[in-house]
Amino acid sequence: MSDLNHRISQRLKELGIVLPEPPSPVASYVPAVIVGRLCYTSGQLPLHNGVLSAEGAVGSTVSVAEAQEAARQSILNAISVAAAAAGGVDHLKRVIKVVGFVQSADDFHQQPQVINGASNLLQEIFGEDGRHARSAVGTNALPLNASVEIECIFELME
Amino acid sequence: MSDLNHRISQRLKELGIVLPEPPSPVASYVPAVIVGRLCYTSGQLPLHNGVLSAEGAVGSTVSVAEAQEAARQSILNAISVAAAAAGGVDHLKRVIKVVGFVQSADDFHQQPQVINGASNLLQEIFGEDGRHARSAVGTNALPLNASVEIECIFELME
Amino acid sequence: MSDLNHRISQRLKELGIVLPEPPSPVASYVPAVIVGRLCYTSGQLPLHNGVLSAEGAVGSTVSVAEAQEAARQSILNAISVAAAAAGGVDHLKRVIKVVGFVQSADDFHQQPQVINGASNLLQEIFGEDGRHARSAVGTNALPLNASVEIECIFELME
């Protein structure tokens, strides 16, 4: 970890962002797993202090703006669990891949705009290293009735 | 493969679990692919001797308990195809990532409980090395009207 | 890149296939990311010269044949963006993983047949190296009302 330089923790401070506490691991799966220099996160819901920031289908009861905020919260949780697994946020080097599931009314087609709430934050925090490959898809149902679920792959510092 | 020690085949025997026969490869895709020390499986349905163990949407015609059993069957199939690709189940070292798709009624939100049927079995078989990152999401439709489809990434012995 | 041999560009020529121009990168995410010897693509829609080749749910307004053609177009776009990231299509060695999302009527269960439109083309182009692990799942909604979205992982030449 020779080039560990507090880049990301510094950037979070500049942006005024405090990472959420990572959730406690549950019995049979964990929030994030490291293999080689990649860190895979579990799907993250927009939970903030135990409360969902958006519930229900986007395009019916939830607006695009509300869902973007939920996507932002979900990716903050993803950064938090990856940081905890990696030994600190400064061990996260780059964002490789994001998959965003958006609970959608059947006629809602702006999943990319919703997931921009996550992608834009990744670029604010990680700069060039935040530019990731991404899929944004709809779904009719998510855990806890959440509006968004996001999983992600980070590359770690060597 | 120096530390190949029949750990997983022994554990399966203790648990009284016989892995299903892996399905024959089809023309244009295969049940599992190895790259480096990772093995990616194709999405596995809850097929047992060619019959689906659960069909239809969870929360309407299918119960959580029935869907958990289907998740258990799907992950057994995933272990089976990964073992066949890796040259035997004892070449599987660790479970990295699970994605579970649950065919869901629009108001069904217990996808994590359903996929626990797979996650719990992975921990029974692999112990600490069975603790994986995971996403559980809903969907309105799956192949063959299956209630569950699960894909998975394993790490292999070196 | 010692064994770079124009194998894939030659094969595309034989098949009479001209890869589409890769789309320009957008602000906060990119069409494809390389890490180690893997290339992850973003989810690709069946866009051809800016127009979707199929819109709407398969099993209601869209036929299986139309959706297969859309899957073919989506995977051509995936090859195109991976080739652009890798420095040319001949740097693509092998197809590792495909995930295909099919916008589906609730009672439509032939997602695998639809995604065969992509898998068959991969094998036509890459031969043995085109045989990938794959998940085909349904969804109630996709970006732009597309009938298909496909993401993919390629292995690169060393």
Give me the domains of chain C, ranges plus CATH numbers.
Answer: 7-17+40-156 (3.30.1330.40)
pLDDT: is A6 or A69 the higher one? A69
Q: Does B147 touch chain A (CB under 8 A)?
A: no
| pLDDT given for residue A24 in this prediction | 67
DSSP A38-72: EEEEPPB--EETTEES-BS-BTTTB-HHHHHHHHH
Chain segment B80-91, per-residue pLDDT in tens? 999 999 999 999
Q: What is the mean pLDDT of residues A92-115?
A: 97
Q: Does B11 touch chain A (CB under 8 A)?
A: no
Q: What is the mean pLDDT of residues C58-76?
A: 97
Tokens of C18: 């001209």
State the sign of the Cα–Cα–Cα–Cα dihedral B81, B16, B135, A59: positive
Neighbours of B103 (CB within 10 A): 34
| pLDDT given for residue C2 in this prediction | 46
Is residue B22's pLDDT more than 90? no
| pLDDT given for residue B1 in this prediction | 44
A141 to B109: CB separation less than 8 angstroms, yes or no: yes
| pLDDT given for residue C22 in this prediction | 82
| pLDDT given for residue B26 in this prediction | 60
Confidence of residue A2 (pLDDT cuts 50, 70, 90): very low
For the entire predicted model, the pTM comes to: 0.95
Q: What is the mean pLDDT of residues C75-85?
A: 96
C2: Cα separation from own chain's centroid = 27
Amino acid C93 reads K
User: Could you report the predicted ipTM of this complex, rounded to two decimals?
Assistant: 0.94
Is residue B15's pLDDT more than 70? yes
Find residues 56-95 of chain C whose CB sits inside 8 Å of chain A: 57
Q: Is B36 exposed, middle or buried, given 0-12, 13-18 or 19+ CB atoms closer than 10 A?
A: middle
Name the closest residue on chain C to residue B78, using Cα atoms: C133
Q: What is the mean pLDDT of residues A69-90?
A: 96
Q: How far is it, in rounded angstroms, from Cα B96 to Cα B77?
A: 16
Q: How far is it, in rounded angstroms, from Cα A89 to Cα A65?
A: 27
Instruction: Give partners of A (≥3 CB pairs < 8 A).
Output: B, C
Per the CB < 8 A criterion, the answer to whether A154 and C35 are in contact is: no
pLDDT: is C1 or B106 the higher one? B106
Nearest to A101 among B109, B120, B137 (CB): B137
